[in-house]
Amino acid sequence: MPKDIQTFEKEIGVSFIDAALLRQAFTHRSYLNEHRSEGGGHNERLEFLGDAVLELVSTHFLYEKYPDKPEGDLTAFRASLVNAITLSEVASALGMNDYLLLSRGEAKDNGRARQMLLANAFEALIGAIYLDQGYDAARVFIENNLFPKIDEIVKKRLWQDPKSTLQEKIQEAEGSTPHYSVLKEAGPDHDKHFTVGVYAKDMLLAQGDGKSKQEAEQTAARAALEARGW
């Protein structure tokens, strides 16, 4: 059973004027299908808004933090900073998993699907803060909770293209080229989620999720690198 949403407000230091926005940020579409009498909306529209706010705030931050870096590097930094893996890690650290409103079926899944749900809820939360408190409050929340990740990303070169790195490693070790296949596709057209598998010589190395096939492939490649200790 999810915790009292007011506890979360205290934990993040944001007091919502419209508490319904915060609840909506945690509400998955599947929950409403099982609790139609409760009313309110799910978090997909807030996620859409929060994604745009996150991209702008992150872009501005990276532009100022790395004045000598070219556009290509900044784009790669941003992709690593706002991908599903990083966002879900931050959401977990904030304890957001304890507040998600999910269907019974969704609540049972604690794997990659939960990771995506947490990343989406984090973006929805940013959208809710933006609507309720304004741009500056959303920016401060992102700065405090997400931006500390960037130093590790740059230091460990996590921003480098994992697909290219994996290809080099596989060709070097096995003389073959990895290939990718969509294993699952879910969600409406405006909010597609993909699960992709990466293979070497028809052996599944790892799986990854993303909002596009490209993002899911990168996530799968990164998971394969981690699994092989590369």
Cβ distance 62 to 148 under 8 Å?
A: no
Mind listing the pLDDT tens digit for each residue in 148-161? 999 988 887 777 77
Per-residue confidence at 10, pLDDT binned at 50, 70, 90? Answer: very high
- At residue 164, what is the residue type? S
For residues 63-91, give the mean pLDDT.
Answer: 93
User: Where does the chain have alpha helices with state H?
Assistant: 5-12, 19-25, 29-34, 44-65, 71-81, 84-93, 104-108, 112-133, 135-145, 150-155, 162-174, 213-227
Give the H/E segment covering residue 185: strand 179-186
CA distance 63 to 194: 30
> If you average pLDDT over every residue of the chain, what do you get?
90
Give the up-direction half-sphere exposure of residue 9: CA atoms within 13 A in the CB hemisphere: 17
- The pLDDT tens digits for 158-173 are 777 788 888 888 988 8
**Rounded to 5 degrees, what angle do the CA atoms 6, 12, 17 make?**
55
Rank 75-79, 150-154, 180-184, 225-229 by mean pLDDT and report only the highest.
180-184
Higher pLDDT, 146 or 157: 146
44-66 confidence digits (pLDDT tens): 999 999 999 999 999 999 999 99
Residue 211 reports pLDDT greater than 90: no
Contact 149, 90 (CB under 8 A): yes
51 is known as an active-site residue: yes
pLDDT at residue number 2:
63
Q: What pLDDT, on a 0 to 100 scale, did the predictor assign at position 130? A: 98
Pairwise CA distance, residues 88 & 100, whole Å:
13
Q: Which of 9, 18, 38, 51 is catalytic?
A: 51
State mean pLDDT over 59-83: 93
Say if residues 87 and 66 touch (Cβ distance below 8 Å).
no
Which of 34, 68, 106, 123 is catalytic? The answer is 123
Q: Which of 22-26, 54-58, 184-188 has the lowest mean pLDDT?
A: 184-188
SS3 4: coil
- Angle separating helix axes 84-93 and 112-133, nearest 10 degrees: 70
Distance CA 92, CA 90 (A): 5
The pLDDT value recorded for residue 1 is 46
For 88-142, the pLDDT digits (tens) are: 999 999 999 999 999 887 777 776 778 889 999 999 999 999 999 999 999 999 9
Question: How far apart, in whole angstroms, are the C-alpha atoms of residue 221 and residue 178?
Answer: 9
Is 152 in the active site?
Answer: no
Question: What domains does the chain contain, in order, with CATH numbers?
Answer: 5-155 (1.10.1520.10), 162-227 (3.30.160.20)
Is residue 183 classed as helix, strand or coil in its secondary structure? strand
